[in-house]
Amino acid sequence: MSQYEAMIASCAAFAVELAECARHLLVEFEHAPLNVELKTDRSFVTAMDARIETELRIMISDRWPEHGIIGEEEKWHAPDAEWVWVLDPIDGTAAFIAGLPVYGTLIALAYRGVPVIGIIDIPKLDLRWTGIAGQSTMLNGSPCKVQAPTSLSAAILSTSNPDFYSEGERPALYTMRDATSWRIYGGAALSYGRLAEGRLHLSMDSGLQVYDFAPFRPIIEGAGGIITDWNGAPITLSSGPRILAAADTKQHQEALSLIANS
């Protein structure tokens, strides 16, 4: 085993420890006071967002002090480091506030800017997708795989929220709406996990930050799918705010062409 492979194995096991910590906090303190605040970008933050990120940062700093950390709620630490952890303590904070069970924690590790480990953890549904570059994606410990539809017109498309699209981006969403068979709204990160297990076919979003999507690359690719930005470039820590994931490479390219011409 090379030094890189040993590092990946060690960090993958540690990423699960981080996910377990976040899940424990979300479950144990589910009914604690939310202490909701509205941030300058009009997104929500709760006391639990801050608490989870602080706990995960402490764990990372204690174990890997030389690693960088990018998080949603606190100042970034060494984002240009060779190894960088990316944390979204509660993806779907609005759903968490509303009591809808699609919220969860996103954890990624990037090597030289490319996400190589990713976790989507949805505690209320007891679902955890784990992706490691070069390996099969696991859902609750079992391999999962994308399932391509017969055509783009037969595909189910997900997007987190149409409100996240700017006026100039909405034609792309409308074009994809018309090109697919059905749309699912509001799933956030859960939708990308469902794509990886073959229950959705395309996931498209805009208005995202790196901590919203960094885990998706190893998860989607490890399940046999493809994920890029809207220009077709692979996902890195410099990507955003627009992403497109698909179960099928040909349909992904077809969708990119429709978006570009919308």
Decide the pairing of beta strands 44-45 and 68-71: unpaired
- Give the number of residues written for the chain: 262
pLDDT of residue 23: 97
Residue extents of the structural domains in the chain:
3-143, 152-260
Predicted TM-score of the model (pTM): 0.95
pLDDT of residue 73: 86
pLDDT of residue 39: 67
For the record, the structure tokens of 91 come out as: 């993806």
- The CATH code belonging to domain 3-143 is 3.30.540.10
Cβ contacts of 69 within 8 Å, gap of 6 or more? 57, 60, 61, 76, 77, 78, 84, 85, 86, 87
Name the packing angle between helices 170-179 and 249-260 (round to 10°): 130
What gap in Å lies between CA 161 and CA 12, rounded to an integer? 31
Amino acid present at 50: A
Do residues 153 and 254 touch, judged by C-beta distance below 8 A? no
What gap in Å lies between CA 248 and CA 49, rounded to an integer? 35
The CATH topology of domain 152-260 is D-Maltodextrin-Binding Protein; domain 2 (3.40.190)
Question: 14-30 b/e with 16+ CB inside 10 Å = b?
Answer: bbbebbebbbebbeeee
pLDDT of residue 40: 64
pLDDT of residue 28: 83
DSSP string, 99-118: T-TT-EEEEEEEETTEEEEE
Instruction: Please report, in tens digits, the pLDDT of each residue of the chain (262 residues total).
Output: 799 999 999 999 999 999 999 999 998 867 766 777 766 665 666 788 999 999 999 999 999 999 999 998 899 999 999 999 999 999 998 898 888 999 999 999 999 999 999 999 999 999 999 999 999 999 999 999 999 999 999 999 999 999 999 999 999 999 999 999 999 999 999 999 999 999 999 999 999 999 999 999 999 999 999 999 999 999 999 999 999 999 999 999 999 999 999 9
3-state secondary structure of 226: strand
pLDDT of residue 127: 98
Do residues 69 and 27 touch, judged by C-beta distance below 8 A? no
Residue 117: closest CA among 225, 22, 5, 229: 5
In whole angstroms, what separates CA 209 from the centre of its chain? 10
The answer to whether domain 3-143 and domain 152-260 are alike in fold is: no
What is the CB neighbour count within 10 angstroms for residue 159?
22
Strand partners, 87: 71, 107
What gap in Å lies between CA 150 and CA 127, rounded to an integer? 27
Residue 227: closest CA among 146, 110, 119, 154: 146
8 phi/psi in degrees, rounded to 5: -60, -45
pLDDT of residue 80: 97
